[in-house]
Amino acid sequence: MTITQLSYVLAVAENQNFTKAAQKCFVTQPTLSMQIQKLEDQLDILIFDRTKKPIELTDVGRKIVTQARNIVNESYRIQDIVDQQKGFIGGEFKLGIIPTVMPTLLPMFLRNFIKKHPKVKLKIEELTTEEIMLRIKDGHLDAAIAATPLEDENIKERVLYFEPFVNYIPKNHRLHGAKKIDVADLEVDDMLLLEDGHCFREGVINLCKTFKNQTEETFQLESGSIETLIRLSNEGLGMTLLPYLHTLEINDKEKENLHYFNEPIPAREVSLIYHKSELKMQIIEALQDVISGVVRGAIAFQNVKIISPLPK
């Protein structure tokens, strides 16, 4: 039994296909077939049920895959120990970012980070919180930036910053006249929201519910991006809430529609999250340093009240 064989098994289990798995392993398909057969022969069991299309794991196979993932992941940690010893910060690093953070935060720190740590090959992907949590647990992501707290025992969190919510209220809206807005003024029925699956949406709904006991039944419109939200709002379809960093990007005319909250200002907590095993911790800490440094200049609010974005 070798680590290579185990990783071949993992690849086939994940792809449910020898040919695709072989590509991901950068070997030919017969290599996988033969090595996996060899392992099956040695253990004298079948890991895959090849009669099923697509291929399926047997009962033992499922248990073996779980253990194999364990072993393969633990084997990565050997290199990690060496890197840590050398103070080496480099190698491939897969980072997930939620959609409502991606467009504003990424440009702020990416250039800085690459400059400071040129040996790290960052692979960044925009994913929902749900996908992020799955992929951190199965090892396909090394870390992610998401709204917290998540309260998942397998995932650790390091708070990066608190991002205040800002009201975006078009000219024709009943609240446009008000200089500063109170949380109690918000009405869900009146608010443009992101579509389901965005945790920012959850945060806003929670905010409204907290202060008005509103149900989440009747939303007027839902959109997939905050950009669209602003456009829709401009068309007079309702007000919306923006995460603070987004308000730095909009044009001067639209800035006139921004209305800040009275203190305490509601905000979301944005954190760097990673698996509890703390693999590649040097890079995670490097990321935290760079991002915290950059954000400290951009967000300088005090008396910020935090609401939980995933209040299930």
CA distance 246 to 104: 6
Strand-pair partners of 268: 163
21-29, 65-73, 162-170, 209-217 -> range binding a second copy (CB under 8 A): 65-73
- Cβ 29 to a second copy shortest distance, Å: 23
Contact flag: residue 70 with DNA (CB under 7 A): no
Three-class secondary structure assignment of 5-28: HHHHHHHHHHHCCHHHHHHHHCCC
Amino acid at 124: I
The residues, ordered by sequence, that sit 6+ positions from 73 with a Cβ below 8 Å of its Cβ are 139, 277, 279
Among 28, 50, 52, 60, binds a second copy (CB under 8 A): 60
The residues, ordered by sequence, that sit 6+ positions from 97 with a Cβ below 8 Å of its Cβ are 105, 106, 124, 125, 126, 127, 144, 145, 146
Query: Binding pattern to DNA, positions 25-64, x when CB under 7 A?
Result: -xxxxxx-xxxxxx-----------xx-xxx---------
Query: Binding pattern to DNA, positions 154-183, x when CB under 7 A?
Result: ------------------------------
Detail the DSSP E strand segments found in the chain: 48-49, 56-57, 91-97, 120-126, 143-148, 155-168, 191-194, 222-223, 239-243, 258-259, 265-275, 304-306
**Which of DNA, a second copy, none binds 28 (CB below 5-8 Å, type-dependent)?**
DNA
Q: Tokens 């009201």 — which residue?
A: 167
Nearer to a second copy, 86 or 111 (CB): 86
| Structure-token pair, residue 278 | 């703390």
Q: In the 8-state DSSP scheme, what is residue 262?
A: P
13-21, 116-124, 152-160, 265-273 -> range binding DNA (CB under 7 A): 13-21
72-80, 138-146, 242-250, 294-302 -> range binding a second copy (CB under 8 A): 72-80
- Cβ 94 to DNA shortest distance, Å: 24
Contact flag: residue 37 with a second copy (CB under 8 A): no
Contact flag: residue 123 with DNA (CB under 7 A): no
Contact flag: residue 18 with DNA (CB under 7 A): yes
CB-CB contact of 193 with 205 (8 Å) = yes
- Cβ 299 to DNA shortest distance, Å: 49
Q: Which of 250, 305, 299 is nearest to 109 (CA)?
A: 299
Contacts of 15-20 with CB under 8 Å at 24 or more apart are 16/54, 16/55, 16/56, 17/54, 17/55, 18/55
- Cβ 68 to DNA shortest distance, Å: 15
Contact flag: residue 66 with DNA (CB under 7 A): no
43-51, 147-155, 211-219, 287-295 -> range binding a second copy (CB under 8 A): 43-51
Contact flag: residue 49 with a second copy (CB under 8 A): no
Amino acid at 271: S
Nearer to a second copy, 59 or 195 (CB): 59
For 42-58, the DSSP string reads HHTS-SEETTSSS-EE-
Nearer to a second copy, 138 or 235 (CB): 138
Footprint of a second copy on this chain (CB under 8 A)? Answer: 1-4, 6, 43-45, 59-60, 63-64, 67-68, 70-71, 74-75, 77-79, 81-82, 85-86
